[in-house]
């Protein structure tokens, strides 16, 4: 049977050599990555909820060639319980990477425990020609318990993570949901991060009163990418819900105010592109 080409198929056809990575923005914090010969999905939010402003560019059954699915934390727009089992069924050899405290949330969806990898900082996972580092994220389950690493809910383990995907020639950081904290930029510098995918929706009391846990704002995202030594920053987590917006033009303006040159790449949903390392 022949299938019509999907955005994931087009990503697989893209060229991503030693110093480059193919990317496909799925909306919100969802990305597909073509890196080190692997197809990786990060926080794929594919459920057709009525409050979405944009439909998902792929369906779970399109994920026929996915090798890894990385989930940063348990919020439903990151751990999409409605679509994750279908994604895993479409690619029966794929592995699912999650923060260790929420492994059971994933296995309860019917995904075999042998396919689920619990991640924690300073314990990298290696597969293909790829090393994946877990980076602590400062977030919260609810606004009332933000902003922490979630260790108080998890027996001292980090509950919220970002990930660095390092293939040697290029290194990409997906922050998940986080605000800045002491030591974050230094961790990213040690990973020689080239590309940062960062939330830009910010935070304020009005949204926190509605139990929306916030993130970096545009100025903070630009500063973090610069301090981390990255060449490229890509905004995310600003487009999907009218109640929780962000403004990528403000990220561009913030980056232009920095002394250090920083590329800002604002992607189109559902359109693959290739980003190449420009330094070292």
Rounded to the nearest 10°, the torsion over CA 135, 240, 211, 76 is -60
CB of 99 closer than 8 Å to CB of 119: yes
Task: Report the interhelical angle of 218-227 vs 248-256 (nearest 10°).
Answer: 50
pTM for this model (two decimals): 0.96
Mean pLDDT of 54-82: 97
Residue 72 corresponds to which tokens in the numbers above? 């940063």
Cα separations in angstroms, 165 against 5, 109, 168, 190: 26, 26, 9, 13
| Side-by-side strand order, sheet with 38-42 | 116-119, 95-99, 68-70, 38-42, 30-35, 20-27, 273-276
Predicted pLDDT of residue 5: 86
The predicted model gives 53-64 an average pLDDT of 95
Q: How far apart are CA 150 and CA 109, in angstroms?
A: 22
Residue 174 has pLDDT above 70, yes or no: yes
Give the model's pLDDT for residue 202. Answer: 97
**pLDDT, average across residues 5-33:** 91
Decide if pLDDT at 279 tops 70: no
User: What is the average pLDDT score of the chain?
Assistant: 95
Domain 7-276 -> CATH class: alpha beta
Decide if pLDDT at 3 tops 70.
no
Strand, coil or helix: what is 117? Answer: strand
Share of the chain above pLDDT 90, in %: 92
Task: Name the band, by pLDDT with cuts 50, 70 and 90, for residue 190.
Answer: very high
């Amino acid at each position: 049977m022949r299938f019509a080409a999907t955005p994931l198929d087009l990503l697989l056809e893209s060229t991503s050599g030693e110093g480059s990575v193919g990317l496909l923005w799925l909306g919100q914090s969802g990305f597909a990555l073509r890196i080190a010969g692997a197809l990786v999905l990060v926080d794929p939010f594919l459920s057709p909820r009525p409050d979405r402003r944009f439909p998902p560019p792929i369906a779970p059954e399109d994920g026929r060639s996915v090798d890894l699915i990385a989930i940063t934390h348990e919020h439903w727009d990151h751990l999409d319980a409605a679509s994750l089992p279908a994604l895993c069924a479409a690619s029966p050899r794929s592995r699912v990477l999650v923060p260790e405290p929420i492994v059971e949330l994933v296995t309860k969806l019917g995904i075999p425990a042998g396919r689920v990898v619990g991640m924690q900082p300073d314990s990298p996972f290696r597969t293909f020609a790829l090393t994946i580092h877990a980076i602590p994220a400062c977030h919260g389950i609810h606004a009332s318990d933000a902003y922490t690493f979630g260790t108080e809910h998890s027996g001292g383990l980090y509950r919220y993570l970002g990930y660095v995907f390092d293939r040697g020639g290029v290194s990409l950081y997906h922050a998940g949901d986080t605000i800045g904290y002491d030591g974050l930029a230094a961790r990213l510098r040690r990973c020689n991060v080239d590309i940062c995918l960062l939330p830009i929706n910010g935070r304020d009391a009005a949204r926190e009163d509605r139990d929306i846990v916030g993130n970096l704002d545009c100025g903070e995202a630009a500063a973090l990418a610069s301090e981390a030594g990255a060449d490229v920053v890509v905004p995310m987590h600003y487009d999907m819900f009218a109640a929780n917006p962000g403004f990528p033009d403000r990220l561009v303006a913030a980056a232009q105010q920095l002394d250090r040159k920083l590329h800002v790449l604002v992607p189109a949903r559902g359109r693959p592109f290739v980003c190449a390392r420009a330094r070292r």
